[in-house]
Amino acid sequence: MLVADLASKSFFFKWLGYHERFSVFEPLLYFTTVTNQGVAWGIFPWAHRLLLLLIPLLLAGIFIHAWRARKADTFQLICLGAIFGGAAGNYYDRLVHGAVRDFIDVKFGALYDFPIFNLADAAISISVALMLLRQFLVRQRPPVS
């Protein structure tokens, strides 16, 4: 996930430059290059420095959790790996570029303009949603003694 995220950001920002838009499937999908200092979807832009301190702790927590679950649950490991890779990719952006680089721009005509995001954001969001969905929908069997 980390490699795919950084490679895609590098490609789109070299191809389009900063603050440019390319129509992929109008009026639904565009590539629009922007930067974001905030958390998800640009909220809390003042938290940039705090995130530089907190994200390594989050990454360490994800790694420890994945290490403990490594033999028990492949699905959870895949999701944790995607979350870790996505968070690491966005952290790299914060360190190197001073902000997270986003480029996927989804619009629903004039009805709704979804915040611009990147592959890391998608991996984190989808993985968290899948883990939560699984937690609520799949009945866990007790471990065999």
In order along its 145 residues, the chain shows pLDDT tens digits of 999 999 999 999 999 999 999 999 988 999 999 998 877 666 667 677 788 888 999 999 999 988 887 777 889 899 999 999 999 999 999 999 999 999 999 998 778 888 999 999 999 999 999 999 998 887 766 666 5
C-alpha to C-alpha distance for 132 and 126, rounded to whole angstroms: 10
| Residue 120 CB coordination number (10 Å) | 29
Per-residue DSSP letter, 47: G
The number of angstroms, rounded, from the C-alpha of 99 to the middle of its chain's C-alpha atoms is: 14
**8 A C-beta contact, residue 28 and residue 105:** no
44: amino acid identity, one letter: F
Global confidence as pTM: 0.85
Q: For the chain, give the number of residues.
A: 145
5 is catalytic: no
93 is catalytic: no
> Among 93, 102, 105, 113, which one carries the catalytic annotation?
102
- Scanning the chain, the segments in alpha helix (DSSP H) are 2-16, 48-68, 74-97, 119-137
> Which of 87, 71, 73, 70 minimizes the C-alpha distance to 122?
87
